[in-house]
Every structure is written in C-alpha cells, then in structure tokens.
Chain A
Amino acid sequence: MVPGSNTPPFTHRGWRIWPGTALSLCLYGLGMGGLGALLWQAPAIDIQSLWSSAYLRGVLRFTLWQAAISVLLSLAIAIPVARALDRHRNFPGRAALLRVMELSLVLPTIVAVSGLVAIYGRQGWVTPFFDWLLPSQGWNLYGLNGVVLAHVFFNAPLASRILLQALENTPDSQRKVASQLGLGSLWLWRTLDWPAIQGILPGLAGLIFTLCFTSFAIVMTLGGGPSATTLEVAIYQALRFEFDFGRAALLALVQLIICSAVWLILVRGKTDSALMPAQAAMNSLPPRPDSRGLYRLMDGILLPVFSAFLLLPLVAIAIRGLPGLSDTLLSGQGLVPATVRSLAIALPAGLLAVLTAMMILMIPTARGLGKLAKLGDMAAHLPLIIPALVLGTGLFLLIRPSLGVSSEGLVLVSLINAIMALPFILHLLRSPLNGLDYASVRLADQLGIRGWYRWRWMHWPRMRKPLALAMAYGTALSLGDFGVIALFGTPAQPTLPVLLYQQLGSYQVSAAAGTGLWLILLLLINFSVFNLIGRSSRSRGLPDA
C-alpha cells in the first residue's frame, strides 16, 4: 500500500484526528457508563450462574447458530444480487427496486413480521408452493426457518445496497479495459468485483452478525417457543421482570465480548477498505461483458425472484393496511401530528448521525493511526452491541434526578436515535469517503488544494450521493424507532410508531395496519426525496444508483 493513499478530506491532521477521537471516547464513556452503572447498582453478581445454567448455554448456542446462518445466507444472496444490479444499470424499475431494498432494514419489526407471515405463514400466499416442494414434511415458518428468513429479509437488501455502491465505484477506465478484453464473468469477479468488495465484506458480515445476534421480537414471534431465545431476551427478562441488574449487566457483558470478538476477527488486519483509485461513475460505460448471454438469463431470473421476495410482504401489508389508512386519514385520528412529531425527532437525528460518522471516518488510517481509527470504528458499533435497554437503564441510573419527561426527553430521544443509526451510516460512507484516488490526492497536494476547496471540488461530487443515502437511512431508522422512545416514556402525544403500538394495544387492528402502511409510505418518500437531493445536476436524468 502506498502511504497516504487515502488522505481523507480536511487535510489538517489535528482536525482529522481530534473531533472523531473525542466523539469515539464519548461513545465509549456512554457505553461503559451504562453498563458500569448497572453493575455498580447490582447487589451481587453471580458469575457462576453463567456456566452452570443449561438454559443459558442453550440460549447462547441458539443465538450464535441462527446469527451465523443468517449472515451466510444474507451475503450469499446479497453478492449475486449486487453484481446483477451492477451489470444491468438501465432496466426499468431498477430505481424502484433500490428504494425497496433501502426500505427493508428500517421497517418496524411488527409490521414486517405481519407481512412475512401473510406470505410464508400457515395461510401464506406461497406456502402451498413450498409444501409442494417439500412434500415429506411440509413447510413450517415457525422455528429456525422463520427466524433466518426474516433476518435475510431485513439484512440481505442492506448488504446488497452497500455492496452495489462499492461495485459502482470501480473506475471507468478499468471497466473499459475489461470490456475491451472481453473478460468472462469469473475473470471480472477476480479482477474487478472481488477487489472492490473484499474490503467492506468483513465489516458488513460483522454488522449483520451483530444485528442478528441481538435480534429480539422477530426471534420470539417466529421462533416458535422458548427454545428459540436470544441473549437479548434473557437480558430483557432479567431487567424488566426480575429487576436483576447484576444478571442483566453480566449477560450484556457476555454479548459485548462475543460480538466484539467476532467483529475483531472479521476485520483483523484490515484498517481500510476501497484502496483502489476511483472516480465519480459517469455511467456512460459500455455494458459489462458479462451482461449478455447466459448471465443475462440468470440475472433475468435472480432479480425478479429477489424483487418478489422483497415486494410480496409489502404488498400484503398494503392490502391489509389500505382500509384502515383511508379510515384514519378521513377521521384525522392524530396521524398528521404524529407524523410531524416523528419527523421533528428523525431529521435532526439523521443529520447528527451523519456528522458524527464523518468525523469518526476522518481519523486517518495511515501512519500508525490505524489503531485509533479502529477504535473509532468499534465505538460506533457499541450502540448495536450493548442492548438499548441496558444502556438506557444504566444511563438513567446515572442521570436520574435531572431527567424530565417533556421536551428535553424528546431531544434525548433524537440524540440516542442518532447514536443508534451510527453503525449503518459508517458502512455507507466509509468506502466513498476513503476511495479518492491517489493521483488526484497527490495532484491536489501539489496544487495546494486543501480544506474547504478540497472538500468542495474533490469530495463533494463523490460524496453527495452517499451522504444523501446516509441521511435517508439515519432519518428512516429513527422514524421507525419504538424502543428508544418507549424507554423514556412519552407524554400522551405519540410519534408514529408509538401511535401504532397504542392502536395494537387496544384492539384497533385495522387502524394499526393503516398506520403501519402510512409509516412505510413515509419511509419510501423519505428515501426518494433524499435520492433526488443526492443526484447532482450533472447526473440528473442518468441511471440511478
């Protein structure tokens, strides 16, 4: 590797190191403070119980097993889909498919699960087909099947979306050469695609692993019974029903250790991704050589099947939600104020998350600072690994006298939502930010283009799109959030997800289905608007990415 080949934007070293490092340290402080407060309040900590309990061993085994399968399957689907989408940049409906892919991760669990059940459940649309495929035992959603299916539904599209972004950053010149040489699919994979994604793949696997490892409501609803229990469930139980702070903190610690270990193993030795030079893709390329013939046919099957996999549950949700939505819109049952309230929390949260992620990503990776950069990366993942409930309870113990349940509460909710969105945003921004090619950076150095100018003319054209996508994710994750806001308690006026849960809790099934659909539409609008913002005037009208 050439030293300095990934010089990040603001070129003054101090500016690049300190804000990000300070923020990372804050995150560590927050995480350790939360855990520490619980441990400190716990009367007695029974470490022995960890090893001696057959129940906990079973929980741990299941948690690891389902997470590992979910990661493998998600990536096994995400990679071919991303390649197929990279091969075909102009087919009709591609932009819509991308929006739907962005959507799946941020769907509120209960709504997504009801959609999945409508398709794959006992009365599901495709269940007869599966039963026909498996005549001996028949298809059963409830169990490991359902858990993994739901996890793939949530995570494969996210992975595919991030991988596609990396594939599209392959420089045009290389694509042209490959096209002239008439390389086959295997060779393209070895020379262009694999180098483009190998840097981000381990981090992505770590992200999905963590998401599945800490999964909760999905595992319980679709798992079939208590033999499908994740560590997160045990933590919830300890905190909410047994008020056993010590046990909760201990279990959270176990979760922290396992997830960080997996994460460290995966990203070992890789301080950075996207080392290749890249330019803003102009999309005026000749088609990839492997977009014809047999591959065209295979993609012609893969992409529609994948689209159906994503779309069918959404269609089911829409059909179920339409009557309720029209009723609520007509009666004006608080849907609009709840929407405004949700946006007032989500937009600042998105912005904050993007700014924080940028500062952490700017910590230089070269010249012995690789460890620091890794530390920052780790910090950004803490909110995923430490259960929100543990973090929230611990922080509550620390700051309890000063915490109000009014407007300050909402500011806090926004802040925590921003922190929760951080890991996703980090993955979205990493490769575009660090992927500026060496020659351009050298040239800029020689010409003395630094600071704001460097940002405006070199990074902004490349970052505009990823930043918009990151903003969209940050906002969307917080729009769909129920956990954080429920943790702090809401004054009677609800946000959209709270409204949804209120309706669910009081038999208003049709209204709840309507609110769920409204939330999905809002998320779609959110992604579309940010996508429009992300398209620079130059690339407007060109194929979408």
Chain B
Amino acid sequence: MPFRSTLLLCAALLWTTSAMATDQLTIYTHPSFAADWGPGPAIKEAFEEQCDCAVNLIALESGGDILQRLRLEGESSPADIVLGLDTGTMETARQTGLLAAHETALDRLNLPIEWTDPLFVPYDWGYFAFVYNTDQLPEPPTSLEALINAPDDLKIIIQDPRTSTPGLGLLLWMRHVYGDKAPEKWAQLKGKILTTTKSWSDGYFSLFMNGEAPMILSYSTSPAYHMAIDKTEQYQAVRFDEGHYLQVEVAALVASSKNKALGRQFLQFMLTRDFQRHIPLKNVMYPATDIGTELPDVFGKLIQPGKTLYFDPATVADNRRSWLNEWLDAMTR
C-alpha cells in the first residue's frame, strides 16, 4: 500500500517535530543550511553520534531573521545556539546581551584575519565577488575601478544593502576602497546596474541564470559549486585588483540556554573535521579550519584576492546607517 505508507510517513514527519528526546539542542539557522542537501543533516548526525542528544534545527529566513527572533524571544528563547549570523550582524547581536561566551579554543582557525572574539565562533568564510557568465562576457573588468568606468552597456545585477547580506557587503567594499569618495563612485556605477534585487536568490535565479546580465554580485566561491556539482566552467568569479571584502559566518551560544555545556560542546565540534568537511560543497564557502586534502580540488581553481578588505564589526555597526543613507542619496539623485 504505497499510498498508505506515504501518508504514515508524512504524519510521522509532521509529528517528529514535537517528539521529545533525551537532551535537546535547538539551533536557529537559515533554510539553505538546514536543507536536506545542506550541511545541516550530516552535521546533525555526526554530532548526535557523540553527544547522546537530539539536535533540532529550526530554519529562519535569513541571518537578520535569526537575530530578530532572538531579540523578540529574549530570555525565554528556546534556542541554545544561533548559527548563521555574520560579520555584518554580529555587533547588533552582541549588543542584545543575549549571548554567552563560547570558551572555545580558537587556535585551529584558518581565516584571512586574526580572530579572538569571545562570543562568536566562525564556522566558514568567503569573499564577495562578481560572478560572470564566460559565454556572454569573455573579458570582464578586472578591478572595481574598471567596472565603474566601463561603458553603460555592461550590465550588472546587485543586491540591496537594505535587505541583503551581499548587498551590504558591496556597500562596505566600495566604502573600504573609496572612503569618502564612495558616493561619487556609486553615482558613476549607477548606469551599469540593471537592477537591485531584494535578495541574492531573486537576482541569481530570476535574472542571472536567465541570462539577463552577464555579471552578478555573489561570492568568490560560487564557481566551486558550478564546477563541482553542475560540471560547468561557464560561471567564474573575477578577481579585482583592489582586493575583496571578507564575510565570516559565525555561531554563538545563547545566554538563556539550559544546555550551556552541550552548546559549548557543539561550538567545539564546529571546528572539527566532522563539521568542517561539509562546508565547502554543501554551504559553498571556505571551511573555517584547515581540512587538508578534504578540501575539494575545485577550490584550488578559485580566485585568490591580493588583499583582504575588512571592517571591524563595531565600525560597521556605528556607520551602517549613515553609509546606507549616502548610498540612497547617490542612487536616487
């Protein structure tokens, strides 16, 4: 009776969410991390083998939503771990006072920058970069300056810094390279921008993969997925001379958690190979530690930025609003 078993299976799927196991570790994360093919399920399994607990992954829409949910729930949050914040939202998360020290040794980390933060443990990182379609654009501009000065018939797709992480990344990238001149440069870039989408997915799926524009703001690691899984070299990232802006994705322990020891155990586990080996192809980012030969070969073909651009999270938090307003002014004038 295939129909009946399907029904039973589905009923079971709906019910398992409320089933209680021994020790529960509740993790807030984003949908692509928790997806069947994402790193979530494999990591859950690996951790459950060594912790005698049940990992409960809850997917919220984005990093911003994870933070929002945590703020709304405050002390009564059922979450033990938040996983999926990044260097753009870290400082705001810190200021809520709802997070606890990780007490994890960070010496295994392998990031382009030094990391000593007491609250946040990085689990992966990547560079923002423009990805281009080699069929449509054989010779892309090789610097931010060249892109800004390119003729207006070169079209790019970017994301809105008000609603999207890479969008904010580009804002910081421009600011880092041009400082106070950034608004002028934005005004020059404006003619090249086909559109500014709400999220990365909107631009990548509806526009870029539909061939609407040859370049899109994305990550330097995006081609790794296309090369390893789609088996195509058609989509490549372009290396910019000025350097690339860094994004580090982090997790943290929730202060109100009743399972702090278990939570810290998970944060330590996060920096082991059993966790990190799932990052490169399932989250399409660089692992936060050196995983040696387990790093897929395609990662060797990715661009190597000459310079890592990075603002301290506190600087971002202090200036975000005024930089956003500058951007709005430049773009709507």
Which residues of A are in contact with B by a Cβ distance under 8 Å? 55, 58, 110, 113-114, 117-118, 121-123, 142, 216-217, 220-227, 233, 236-237, 239-243, 320, 333-334, 336-337, 340-341, 344, 393, 396-397, 400-401, 404-407, 410, 486-487, 489-494, 498-499, 501-509, 512-513
CA gap between A501 and B227 in the complex, in Å: 22
B68 & A55 in contact (Cβ 8 Å cutoff): no
B213 & A492 in contact (Cβ 8 Å cutoff): no
CA gap between A126 and B176 in the complex, in Å: 42
CA gap between A487 and B76 in the complex, in Å: 18
Please indicate the chain A residues that have their CB under 8 angstroms from the CB of B76 in the complex: 400-401
B14 & A110 in contact (Cβ 8 Å cutoff): no
16 A–B contacts, CB within 8 A, in A order: A114-B205, A225-B193, A226-B331, A241-B162, A243-B71, A337-B13, A341-B14, A344-B14, A493-B13, A493-B17, A502-B31, A502-B59, A505-B32, A507-B204, A509-B204, A509-B205
B163 & A220 in contact (Cβ 8 Å cutoff): yes
In the complex, how many angstroms separate the beta carbon of A279 from the nearest chain B beta carbon? 43
In the complex, how many angstroms separate the beta carbon of B154 from the nearest chain A beta carbon? 12
B31 & A114 in contact (Cβ 8 Å cutoff): no
CA gap between A512 and B31 in the complex, in Å: 14
Our pick among B15, B92, B204 for the contact of A243 (Cβ within 8 Å) is B92
Please indicate the chain B residues that have their CB under 8 angstroms from the CB of A502 in the complex: 31-32, 34-36, 38, 59
CA gap between A121 and B60 in the complex, in Å: 32
CA gap between A494 and B17 in the complex, in Å: 12
A501 & B198 in contact (Cβ 8 Å cutoff): no
B206 & A508 in contact (Cβ 8 Å cutoff): no
Report if B196 contacts A (CB, 8 A): yes
B211 & A123 in contact (Cβ 8 Å cutoff): yes
A334 & B58 in contact (Cβ 8 Å cutoff): no
Chain B interface residue count, CB cutoff 8 Å, equals 77
CA gap between A490 and B212 in the complex, in Å: 33
B210 & A117 in contact (Cβ 8 Å cutoff): yes
Chain A-chain B contacts (Cβ-Cβ < 8 Å), number: 203
CA gap between A341 and B225 in the complex, in Å: 30
Report if B319 contacts A (CB, 8 A): no
B321 & A491 in contact (Cβ 8 Å cutoff): no
Please indicate the chain A residues that have their CB under 8 angstroms from the CB of B59 in the complex: 489-492, 494, 498, 502
- Nearest-neighbor residue (CB-CB) of B168 within chain A: A241
In the complex, how many angstroms separate the beta carbon of A471 from the nearest chain B beta carbon? 22
A243 & B209 in contact (Cβ 8 Å cutoff): no
Please indicate the chain A residues that have their CB under 8 angstroms from the CB of B13 in the complex: 337, 341, 493
A121 & B212 in contact (Cβ 8 Å cutoff): yes
Please indicate the chain A residues that have their CB under 8 angstroms from the CB of B210 in the complex: 114, 117-118, 121, 123, 320
Please indicate the chain A residues that have their CB under 8 angstroms from the CB of B277 in the complex: none
CA gap between A110 and B203 in the complex, in Å: 10
Report if B56 contacts A (CB, 8 A): yes
CA gap between A261 and B74 in the complex, in Å: 37
B274-333 contacts to A, CB under 8 A, are 282-284, 321, 325, 327-328, 331-332
B 57-91 binary contact with A (CB < 8 Å = 1; else 0): 11111101101110111101010000000000000
